[in-house]
Amino acid sequence: MNRMDRMDRLGRSDTPRHIGIIMDGNGRWAKLRGLPRADGHRRGVERAREIIQAARELGIEALTLYGFSSENWQRPQSEVAFLMKLLDLFLRREMYELKKQNTAFRTIGDLGRLPAGVRGLVREAERITADCNGMVLTVALSYGGRDEILRAVKKILAAGIGPGEINEETFSGLLDTAGLPEPDLIIRTSGEKRISNFLLWQSAYSEFYFTETLWPDFSAEQLLRALSDYQARDRRFGAVKA
């Protein structure tokens, strides 16, 4: 059964609107093969391209990829520089393809920490795809969920919003993900079973799917397996099923 057959077999009646993915395991994938970590990151970028395409074909409304966390700045300077170079290349190569595929590009996180050249490419990709109304691809860059929440609180204080004016809807509108549906499903690869500061507020009622598969090996077929597992669950959001 080829990939498109599997997509048709899956059905779309209970497809999640928004999927978040913690792309973990590039370094371990390379180490297992006796390769430099850089090779794992390169393979991870290629895998991201495949998953973006598969999500688009499945009719997913929003896909959020955890690209670079606020904690990742603690990695060796040479690795951080290489990751920024990969991001630069990805944006240059993909922004017009995203436009062609009617996919809007967004970012979340503290972009002020990114190199100026990368920031410029991010803004250009967002501008070029701003009128696209197909899938929304969001890449979390220099992102941490706690930092995002703190920045939202600072916005409240700066705007002089009183306690009586604050509710969940107001607060959600001040987060980086404002305008996006909350993630229905969050996937983490590599066998780790934690969310690592990813979409802390937004994932309050998300379903989680953990897989031992390292990110460079997470194929479109693996994505379909995660979606099949999601469709078999009974989401009640704290209520009792009638």
pLDDT for residue 239: 60
Reported as a pLDDT band with limits 50, 70 and 90, residue 1 is: very low
For residue 185, the cross-strand partners are 19, 207
Average pLDDT over residues 34-45: 97
Looking at residue 240, what is its pLDDT? 53
Q: Can you name the residues that pair with 124 across neighbouring β-strands?
A: none
Share of the chain above pLDDT 90, in %: 89
Q: Please report the pLDDT score of residue 236 as a whole number.
A: 66
- Contact predicate 215/44, CB 8 Å: yes
Model pLDDT, residue 196: 97
Q: Is the pLDDT of residue 205 over 60?
A: yes
Residue 72 is among the residues annotated as catalytic for this protein: yes
* Active-site entry in 72, 88, 217, 229: 72
Residue 206 has pLDDT above 60, yes or no: yes
Q: How many Cα neighbours within 13 Å face the side chain of 46? A: 8
Q: What is the pLDDT of residues 55-71, one digit of tens each?
A: 999 999 999 999 999 99
Which pLDDT score is estimated for 238? Answer: 60
Of residues 10 and 218, the one with the higher pLDDT is 218
Fold for the domain defined by 14-231: Undecaprenyl pyrophosphate synthetase (3.40.1180)
Count of other CB atoms within 10 angstroms of residue 224? 17
Q: State the pLDDT at residue 23.
A: 98
- In the prediction, which pLDDT does 126 show? 98
Helix (H) or strand (E) holding 22: strand 18-22
161-171 pLDDT, tens per residue?
Answer: 999 999 999 99
C-alpha angle 73/48/28, rounded to 5°?
A: 60
For the cut 70, the answer to whether the pLDDT of residue 3 exceeds it is no
Residues 81/87, Cβ–Cβ less than 8 Å: no
Find the catalytic residue in 2, 5, 14, 24.
24
Non-local (6+) Cβ contacts of 153 within 8 A are none
Query: Tens digit of pLDDT for each residue in 116-155?
Result: 999 999 999 999 999 999 999 999 999 999 999 999 999 9
Q: Mean of the pLDDT values across residues 170-199?
A: 97
CA distance 181 to 188: 19
How much is the pLDDT for 14? 83
Percent of the chain with pLDDT over 70: 92
Asked if pLDDT for residue 7 goes beyond 90, the answer is: no
Residues 70-121 pLDDT 10s: 999 999 999 999 999 999 999 999 999 999 999 999 999 999 999 999 999 9
For the chain, which residues make up each domain, given as ranges?
A: 14-231
Tell me the mean pLDDT in the region 202-231: 97
